[in-house]
Structure 1
């Protein structure tokens, strides 16, 4: 790799380099607080030494529960420098779900925002991320960390809902994330590798790879990260104007909310060079409105937690109105593989299929995870040898190499950028005393892409209502996983072995759609 586009084996190495090259440049901006690169570097070292002083060692787990902040970003970098594995937990999860993650991961310490502290059952070390966090951090040594951290050491452990109903920890290494930037620069994938000093807003949830991945990724290129506690369209619009922001990442639902906000009508978006989006394709009408309002490049990103995020991208050229004419079908694709990424479409026997045929999408890349934490059977299913990973998405490659996602083999629902597995919802709701049987499916939703629907068989003689089912679910699982609507039927369709035929349940809702996912 060139001197201008170095490969950093670890995120800590990247921070050290930028602290030396641009010590006074703003690295993190959160409200009125700013942190320059030399201070960011010192804070990461102090946090690493503070974690070690607690008795934690390389490879131990450091958990965080809260929203986005400069402190949470520093914490991730400090854990990385100590060779520990950082676990940002989605703050919208229900207490039972959080308790499972803390137990499953064996976290040695939990950092938590004060507003959530009373919700969490945790017997280990707990540190609040208010002003007391700064006092704790600043009391630690800033002597150089001596722990040797390797490119292939664990960096993140992100929990995704599993097909069995239990969350599973996706373990990602430093190299999974750091190897991409030099390749992107080499191939001029400019929308995925901002230049040094560029400003970008981080407003997506921290517990997702799109959140924590963005936060950590900014340090690879020496960017200025403007941190929003959560997505707020008014704040986003105001900060774009105030700080002349160049780069944005939003899910299409958030983009639609931003464009519909009154402040957007007369906003100055002239500084924005590019907007990337993911989780679902963008409706053509929204794209046209976005291009007209922002007058910037748009690019779609497709990826999974298991691939450290993006591995496929639909480029800005494929979004430009003059290039879309007569090629509207390309806008319905996820795009083409990024440099260093191979894609294969497989049949049920894991044989490669030719262009034009639908099968399971498999990915081979240095971005593919180390594996699922303590889930050997899940690893055996997903990691099929020779570096290939099964995504669980059904897709098709065309003759030009564009990937089209057609359906989900795993039954996963994506609603507003959040992943929901039916099995977890069914397991949580099945405990209602008036429910005899239940199936959960994803149905089309204009705002969120997909919405969670429960199809319920009520016990004879009960007076179960839609409101009863939804209220019960809210006491068991995170709100975004709860059914938004409920249908009642006499019996669920099942195959001879008793498996619920979800596709049969879903079919009426997706009739007339070109694909069975949004």
Structure 2
């Protein structure tokens, strides 16, 4: 078995922590404590239980539910078999959940509280799922995972599993209406952490502090949640897990659990700052807030620094890069603001960044182009999508992010726009094509284009520009309600403009920039 100095997989990390710091708490969830010994032994039981159902190396299992410490336990059990965890976005509509479960070919599904009815509705559509369990206990017609797990031995299966093997499959919104499964390997997930174990080379915020407590509040169906939880396992620190982000609970936990680190999206920071108790809470134990998934307004950042009084680290990355690849360190966050605060920072160790033109040529500093990256953190590819993988990652390993930006002379990266039409609302990725497909199905809609417009709370809000069929009448409420039947609520338009015709170029492509322009006038960049 590998040592911590030469880990081959997630299971190796958990084995090490279970041996070296067995009594330290790994996770606390709604009063339930899970030590590293518990995590190690229970994940062994989970692995043996999964193996009894025929789950083996390369097989996918899935989890549909809000955050829980048991999610990480099940993931660890799968990792010890070489199987792959696929967390499903619980905010998706029923057809979308069914699509993800069928696409990843999950053999076993774990369902969190509140989602048994949804799964019951689509169970007959699931092509590969052989067994369904209630993740935290019995759920209607589904047996209890903890009870099932405890019927198996806690001996380690010690399955062969290498750094290049698949570990987690996270789904990203699709440009053509269907999401794609990004395959993250054991190596891509922990490469930056394990390559940086020399404490002398780390920034202060990257160092592990004995006894530190992190708050895990972002959803585990995103890399921000899963990656953050795995990070606390790797560092041997404690994570207090929230089922979902709630500002009142977050403030209570910060106050009562000596929380020292949190990852949040900018919208969550804003919601926290607007809470009526914000000036009553003692934030003296809070050392760092890391934030990302969407840009943050400078004024909001300055207010957060003033009220919370901790260090801030901006993170830039994506699912396809196993999370963070560029950081803006606390030293670059200054209360009076600076040009560097409009950047997302500089690349992490072993991460290469370049800016390319339409032909793939590198452009000089200060020139806007598409951001490309190469590092051990890049995904393996998209699940069963060789063409999409080839479009994203070239033969030399450079991954095209779809974001437009530039590098300054000091190597700081600035995001200017998105090459693709993706909208980021409250940290969630929304692709116009997906929303347009849902709206276009309405019998009274002749044409539709979806854009992102500035929103003070969410950064961007989804707006639909709709052309109604001749002789028909359609209201904003009808459009939104129709969309909600087919796609997740956060993807649905928050507002609808009815226009006589969509602007198009000679080849028929919708000129989204023309639609967006009036709403972004006066902004210094086309993302909010």
TM-score, normalized by the shorter chain, greater than 0.5: yes
Unaligned runs of 5+ residues in structure 2 are: 138-143
Pair 1:135 & 2:147 matched: yes
Per the alignment, do residues 401 and 153 of structure 1 end up closer, same or farther by CA in structure 2, a change over 3 Å counting?
same
- Aligned partners of 1:170 and 1:373 also within 8 Å: yes
Partner of 1:204: 218
CA shift, 1:193, in A, is: 4.9
2:131 is the counterpart of 1:117: no
> How far did residue 198 of structure 1 move?
1.8
**Corresponding residue SS for 1:321:** coil
Closer/same/farther in 2, CA of residues 7 and 420 from structure 1, 3 Å limit: farther
Task: State the partner residue of 1:147.
Answer: 159
CA distance in 1, matches of 2:10, 2:475: 51
The alpha-carbon deviation at position 189 of structure 1 amounts to 2.9
For 1:250, the equivalent position in structure 2 comes to 264
Distance in structure 2 (CA, Å) of the matches to 1:168 and 1:152: 20
The 3-state SS of whatever aligns with 1:384 is coil
Q: After superposition, what is the alpha-carbon deviation per residue over 1:170-204, rounded to whole angstroms, capped at 9, x for unaligned?
A: 00001111111144454313434543542101010
Which is worse superposed, 385-394 or 287-296?
287-296
* Contact 1:396/1:405 (<8 A) preserved: yes
Q: Tell me how far apart the structure 2 counterparts of residues 421 and 192 of structure 1 sit (CA, whole Å).
A: 33
- How far apart, CA to CA, are the structure 1 residues paired with 2:82 and 2:183? 13
In 2, distance between residues paired with 1:91 and 1:197?
Answer: 32
Deviation at 1:487, TM superposition (A): 0.6
Alpha-carbon contact 1:8-1:179 (below 8 Å) kept: no
| 1:103 paired residue number | 102
Once the two structures are superposed, residues 218-271 of structure 1 have per-residue CA deviations (whole angstroms, 9 ceiling, x without a partner) of 111111011000111111111112111110111111111112112221101111
TM-score (norm 1): 0.96
Unaligned stretches of 5+ in structure 1? none
Q: Deviations over 1:319-374 (max 9, x none)?
A: 0337x4xxx22111111111111001000000000101011100001000000001
Is the contact between residue 249 and residue 276 of structure 1 (CA under 8 Å) also seen in structure 2?
yes
Show the counterpart of 2:140: none
Aligned CA distance change for structure 1 residues 233 and 260 (closer, same or farther; 3 Å):
same
Segment of structure 1 superposing worse, 338-347 or 139-148: 139-148
Structure 2 residue 168 is matched with structure 1 residue 169? no
* Deviation per residue, 1:33-55 (Å, 9 max, x gap): 00111111001111111111111
Query: Distance in 1 between the 2:204 and 2:149 partners?
Result: 36
State which of 215, 239, 243 in structure 1 corresponds to 2:253: 239
Residues in 2 aligned to 1:71 and 1:412: alpha-carbon distance in whole angstroms: 32
TM-score, normalization by structure 2 = 0.94
| Pairwise CA distance, 1:273 | 1.0
SS of 1:249 mapped into structure 2: strand
Distance 1:196 1:88, change over 3 A: farther
Task: Report if aligned partners of 2:321, 2:379 keep a CA contact under 8 Å in 1.
Answer: yes
The CA deviation at 1:287 is 2.1
In 1, Cα distance between equivalents of 2:295 and 2:515: 24
Structure 2 residue 503 is the aligned partner of structure 1 residue 499: no
**Which residue in the other structure is 1:386 paired with?**
396
The reply on whether 1:126 has 2:132 as its aligned counterpart is yes
Q: How much is the aligned-residue C-alpha RMSD, in angstroms?
A: 1.4
Shift in alpha-carbon separation, 1:192–1:89, aligned structure 2, 3 A? farther
* Stretch of structure 1 that moved more, 71-80 or 81-90: 71-80
1:276 counterpart = 2:290: yes
CA change 1:110–1:193 in 2 (3 A) is farther
Aligned residues: 511
Measured in 2, the distance between the counterparts of 1:369 and 1:196 equals: 31
SS for the counterpart of 1:220 is helix
User: Quick one: distance in 2 between partners of 1:343 and 1:64?
Assistant: 33
Q: Distance in 1 between matches of 2:290 and 2:422?
A: 23
1-side partners of 2:461 and 2:444: how far apart?
23
Corresponding residue for 1:423? 433
Is residue 2:184 matched to residue 1:178?
no
Question: Secondary structure at the residue paired with 1:264?
Answer: coil
Q: C-alpha offsets along residues 375-396 of structure 1, whole Å, 9 cap, x if unaligned?
A: 1110111011211000000111
Residue number in structure 2 paired with 1:487: 497
2:482 corresponds, among 458, 462, 472, to: 472
Instruction: Give SS of 1:217's match.
Output: helix
> What residue is the counterpart of 1:517 in the other structure?
527
The partner residue of 1:357 within 353, 367, 378 is 367
Contact 1:68 1:228 in 2 (8 A): yes
Map residues 268-417 of structure 1 onto 2, 5 A cutoff: 268-321=282-335, 324=337, 328-417=338-427
Q: Is the 8 A contact 1:181 1:193 kept in 2?
A: no
Cα distance 1:381–1:193, how it changes in 2: closer, same or farther (>3 A)?
farther
Please tell me whether residue 435 in structure 1 is matched to residue 434 in structure 2: no
Give the match for residue 57 of structure 1: 56
- SS of the equivalent of 2:214 reads strand
State the shift of 1:307 in Å: 0.2
Deviation at 1:280, TM superposition (A): 2.3
> 2:297, 2:109 → 1: CA distance?
40
Counterpart among 227, 234, 239 of residue 225 in structure 1: 239
